[in-house]
Amino acid sequence: MPDASTSTVAPAPAAGRSAAAAQRLRVGQFLLASVLMGAHVVFVISIGTWTEVPAVPLWSWAAVTVATYVAFYVALRSGWSERLRDPSMTQHQVVASLVFAGVSYLFLGPVRGLLPGAMLVVVCFGMFKLRVRTVLGVALLGWLVLAAAVGLHLALAPPPVDPTLDLAHLFAAFVMFMAVGLLAGRLSRIRARLTAQREQLNEALARIEALAHRDALTGLFNRRFADEVLLQAVQRQRRQPHPPLCVAIVDLDHFKRVNDRHGHAVGDAVLCAFAKVGLATLRNTDTLARWGGEEFLLILQASDLMAAELALERLRTAVAAQPLALDGGDTLPYAFSAGLTAWRPGDALAHLLERADRALYQAKAEGRNRVVTL
């Protein structure tokens, strides 16, 4: 439905729905990551219990991991995370997951070679949202945590110690993390290009919408848009006749004489000057549109005839007080005549416009530069 206002105001309900949808998306993504991390915790506890890893460090690691993810969930669900630059806390989650996964190397015994692949999945989660430098940074942090866990594992292992397999795990993790970092760079460039294209498309759509709804010369709404606004207003009056609706057809006086004496460029300037004064004088809830040539349509919603007459008189006074400035320091005064009417029960759109048009012709016949009400 078109907006009948002459100003553009972002609709709060739509913004609220958008924010709620973004919040649901953030929570949904977190829950998916939590399921994967929960599966990892269960797997590590199972392996650690099977290989008789000391229970205290194993269960302490599991408890801290679960508590951290619960804290993430509370921050997301409560809306506290919206205070942060990244409300989804992607970087925080990736860092925490890499640290906890790296430490779990100590508890995985003979299957610890699977861990670099699991950590790679965590890095992949971040590369779609984080910048390249950030992805490389968190990947390096995860690798350092893994290296520390490998070193601690080798230090605690009973002799004889063969570090070959552990160092191979560490090397494989480094290669995979760096490869993901390079891939993140490629994705970042693609994402930036898509973002730029989306912005260009939005700008093009905004220009198309402006061309569809606005008069190219004055910047006012055009006749097509005014027809839609007026039709909706009349339909609304039929359902609920209060508050009242008034309509005025405004015609600039002796406009042909302006064109003949000063040229069409000055005539165009007069049209633009009137539009500027009208937008500055009328309410935001009023709709001023170029109806055709030097005629304008004014839709005054929630205005009775008395209030509408006062609005048009204010506009007439403002126009008289602001003549058009010409080259050389001269000014060109101009005025308008207006036919005003109010919607009456049973009125069709054509009846309303016909009555306003008759009032306009009466204003011209009575000497112009006046408002006539029918």
- Cα-based torsion angle of the residue sequence 96, 98, 101, 102 in order, rounded to the nearest 10 degrees: -120
Which letter does DSSP use for residue 368 in this model? S
- Non-local (6+) Cβ contacts of 41 within 8 A are 62, 65, 66
Catalytic one of 228, 294, 354, 366? 294
Question: Is 294 in the active site?
Answer: yes
For residue 233, count other CB atoms closer than 10 A to its CB: 20
CA gap 296, 191 in Å, rounded: 46
The H or E element that residue 131 is part of is none
Q: Is 178 exposed, middle or buried (0-12, 13-18, 19+ CB in 10 A)?
A: middle
From residue 178, how far is each of 115, 137, 184, 259 by CA, in Å? 16, 10, 10, 72
CA gap 279, 292 in Å, rounded: 18
CA gap 117, 239 in Å, rounded: 65
Angle at alpha carbon of residue 275, lines to 271 and 277, rounded to 5°: 115
CA gap 248, 230 in Å, rounded: 11
Alpha-helix residue ranges (DSSP H) falling in the chain: 12-50, 55-78, 90-103, 115-127, 132-156, 164-213, 223-239, 255-262, 264-281, 305-321, 349-365
Residues tagged active-site? 294
